Structure 1
Amino acid sequence: MLIEHSNKMLAQERSLRAEILELRSMHASFEDRITQANDELSAATAKIHALQNMNQQLEVSKKAAVDAQQRLRGDLKNMQQSVQASYRLETSQGIGAGGG
């Protein structure tokens, strides 16, 4: 009976050791997953920051382009008015010279 009890204890010990090894393996696997997830999170965070910086640069460029466009429109309007005024002046001088 003592031998039978001893054999049961040894079998239970082997079973528990096997379970411990399996749990350690699972633990290591979970730690690897956590490390991988942290690495992916860091990469995603870095990408977010890079995209935010790029977005800010694009916003600044957009504002500069809109400002330049408005200046060019103003310049074009002034040039058109100047050309129209010159044309009117030439036309009036031509009419005045031809009529006189």
Structure 2
Amino acid sequence: MVDLDTSLIFKALAHPVRRQILTWLRSPEGFEPQEHPDSAVYGICLSSIQHRAGTSQSMTSQHMAALERADLVQSHRLGQWTHYRRNEDVLRRFAAHVAKDL
């Protein structure tokens, strides 16, 4: 088990769009149908996240990169597309850390 980098996590969560993306990814069935339909396994395509967030492709990529650096999401390449899903283990451990230490 890797130690949590809480500084990176807090930094990633400081932006409201990133928090919203994590909330949306909790229910992948709420997104438009994916080219690779098993969103529980592969996650949600960046373009679907971009569409829902109403941000540019580059801004959405920056948000997802920050979430991925903090290990809050995991990415999977499928052909030319990148899909993202929540890293539930890290989110659970971070929530426990906050509940215990703050």
Please indicate, yes or no, whether the TM-score normalized by the shorter chain is above 0.5: no
Q: Which has the higher helix share?
A: 1
Point out which structure has higher relative CO (alpha carbons under 8 A, 6+ apart): 2
Q: Which has the higher strand share?
A: 2
TM-score bracket, normalised by the shorter chain, equals under 0.3
Larger radius of gyration: 1
Tell me the TM-score normalised to structure 2 length: 0.20
